[in-house]
Chain A
Amino acid sequence: MKPELDCRAASEDISSLLDGELDRARALAVRTHVEACPKCAEQSRTLDEARRAVRTQPVGEVPDVTAAVMRKVQGQRRQRGPLHGGVGGLLRVAGVAAAVAALLLASSSLIGTRRPPASARASEVTSGVRNAARMLDSYRARYEIVERGWHDAVPVRRFDAEVSFSAPESFRLTIRDNTSYPDPSRWPSNDVDLIVNARRSWIREPQVCPEASLPACWTGATEERTVVARRPFDGAAGLPSDLIVPLETLSTSDLFELLGREQMLGRSALHVALPHRQAVPLISALQQGGSWREFSPFDRVDLWLDSETLFPLRFDVRRGRSAAGQVLMSARATSFSQPQDFAPGTFRAPIAALQRSGGFEQDAKGSFDDARSPEFTAGLRPYRAGSTSAGGRILSYARGLTWLTMAVERSSQPPRGYPSTAEQVTLDGSGVAYYEPASADSRRRVDLYASRTHASLESNLPRAVLLRVASSLDLVGRPLPAGIERSGLRVTRLGATGLRGLAFAESPSHLPPGYRTTSSFLVENRRGHRTLSVYYRRAQAEYDGLGIRTTQSPSVRFLPPSFEDLQPVSVDGRAGRWSPERGEVEWMDRGVYRSVRAPSLGLRAAVQVARSLE
């Protein structure tokens, strides 16, 4: 049949035909042409395929913004006051609405929004806290804390704590000690005050002396310290942000266990369990100053998050790994709210006699048009910019509790030393960089050593996002020299090939979940003695600053003598020893010294890694 339309005219209407958007006569004409014309029939099939591919795209989850919108709308109507009433008399909740915005677990019937799954996945909790942290502008919560086993003479201590936050970096933490001490005049009241704002941070705490020497060592003095000219987010790893939303504590979904949904303090809560080593940012948020009991990395932490807002409602630290272990510390929220305003002076940090300067001079008008600023900032907004006393530049970006800083300094020489644990990563378009997961002192970091410039990024964003930020810099990072001389030792960074070239080197075939090789170093002394260290670390955080490290040396002939309290262990039939203090298992293997150090993982995990060396 001869086509009535030419191909060009028909082609333009094929999409409309597929969509049923042609009138009957035109549809007939186009269909007739397409049926008779192999080329147009082919195009029709192709277009239909593309159309179907788009139409059958799965609909992903989207955040529930109802509460945030309604809060703004209410604000427009000038109707002040709480949106949510009291709950069960146990927990006062006011104005939590805005936080609900980003949250995973909306409670009402919504079209395709995130809904509380019967069994929420840990990864959803992780993405939920990330969203909540981004969206939070203000927060205030009060906690009651009970701590057991701090001192033999004081078996139980009780505290009230209040935390306030105004985005992006104003914090106030007040801890009041309500403990009945045997003789109050001889024991320090563990009252701690911390105030942080964009310019300064200030802390007041009892002058700490070793618990074992209490009460004799207590002088009755308190101490105040102020940091002036504070750099953006300076010391942020120590701020009590995880008490607000446990962003860092729950940064990796494979390291905590989601036990389900429970009623807690009259609210629907998600129950999460994790070892203390993973919950350091949350627990230490309360322990900003003063004197507190210590926990083992393996002690169990149970955390209940409000399923609507993901604010921590309660957390308990238990002795040992078991859910039945004695509760060593318990913190329960007694109220939380999102105030529109704080009382004047809430975040005013006093200037104490004891001062340190952060050496930061803030631009009167922050300039973020710097050619070196990242093109991609993960949705964080320009916040503070300025210069350091050493002549460097610092740019910062923030949103809610989420932040990013970039320090840039001119340097003509490559650094003499660098953290051996840093992982060398290849960035998409920005050369080579060095990455480190969060530690007790800093959040995730990326360092780029470009020509005459050293850029250092730090952030509580996840690794992948931070690396994307680094990739968007208009800098090309160069690899640091593979070998450096340091104190008569030659230190060489090795890649996989270099490792394989070492006959004495063995690698573990078993690592705990999440661990992977991040860096390897060969250290040689002047006499040719060689020691190989390989680091295995998780992507987001290693709060002990190490992770797992293997050390191997054919130059060490026997296990070095030690005065530590060592336990004998067997590694594949070979006699070895375990140092609980260092968290390290050591043994001799056919004339080669080998050790596995894993301070936060314990004997069993370290020996498992040791046995898997091959």
Chain B
Amino acid sequence: MPEPDPQVVRAARGGDIGAFESLVRFYQAHVWRLCFHLLHDETLADDVTQEALVKAYRFLPTYRGESKFSTWLYSITRNCALDELRKAGRRHDLLTQLGRETVPSHRDHSVRIEVREAIAALPLELREAVVLIDMFGTSYSEAAAILGLPLGTVKSRVHRARLVLARWLLPASQGSAGEA
């Protein structure tokens, strides 16, 4: 997971607007992707990305360097995304709706599209674990810090997420996906 130059973080904390801008440039793509995978709506992801980064600016003085900067920022991002889901009353709807979705079979679509759809169809708690660990490359302990969960819970969630994904993505008769 990329980390910015600590000097840049310090300068931003000290009110250097240019330093903060370079942090925004450095992280915005990651923040947007995290938002997108949690919200599954590009437009909402645009909004929440901005909100999270603006919030990060506001709370920057409270960042004491006890965790990685990325962990701290993703934690803010995740909270903003969950707020958005709650605010719009979407969380329940989204999960119900995703639960109903059928994941297309391996034969019908290219694996890549299917993977994205399969991730989208995971329940939120499994999805956020697998997104952080497999897409963002965080360690289990970083994911635990971002998600505010015990390490063991993260470990079991990522495992369960992969079991579900494997069931959806891989042909039942064989063990390997045969990805092109």
- Which residues of A pack against B, CB within 8 Å? 12, 14-16, 19, 21, 42, 45-47, 49-59, 62-66, 68-70, 72-74, 76-77, 101-102, 108-113, 131, 134-135, 375, 378-379, 399
Contact = CB atoms under 8 A, between A and B. Distances in A.
B75 interface: no
| Closest 4 pairs (CB-CB, A-B) | A379-B43, A15-B159, A50-B166, A112-B29
B135 A57 contact: yes
Interface of B: 2, 17, 20-21, 24-30, 32-33, 36, 41-44, 46, 49-50, 53-54, 57-58, 93, 111-112, 115-116, 119, 130, 133-135, 137, 139-140, 155-156, 158-159, 162-163, 165-166, 169-170, 175-177, 179
Contacts of A134: 43, 46
A47 B54 CA distance: 38
B179 A47 contact: no
A64 B165 contact: no
Contacts, number: 141
Contacts of A101: 46, 50
A21 B30 CA distance: 23
Contacts of A54: 115, 119, 130, 134-135, 162, 165
B77 to A, nearest CB: 12
Contacts of A59: 29, 33
B24 A47 contact: no
A109 to B, nearest CB: 8
A77 B43 CA distance: 26
A605 to B, nearest CB: 35
Nearest to A378: B43
A49 B44 contact: no
Contacts of A399: 43
Contact of B57 (A57, A63, A64, A73): A73
Given A49-B176, A53-B177, A54-B135, A63 B115 contact: no
Indicate the member of A19, A102, A108, A110 with the most B CB atoms within 10 Å: A19
A70 B140 contact: no
A187 B159 CA distance: 79
Contact of B53 (A56, A65, A108): A65
B24 A69 contact: yes
Contact of B54 (A12, A15, A73, A131): A73
Contact of B177 (A49, A55, A135, A379): A49
Given A58-B112, A135-B46, A47 B162 contact: yes
Contacts of B175: 42, 45-46, 49
Nearest to B41: A379
Contact of A73 (B17, B41, B42, B46): B17
B46 to A, nearest CB: 6
Nearest to A54: B134
Given A63-B32, A378-B43, A47 B166 contact: yes
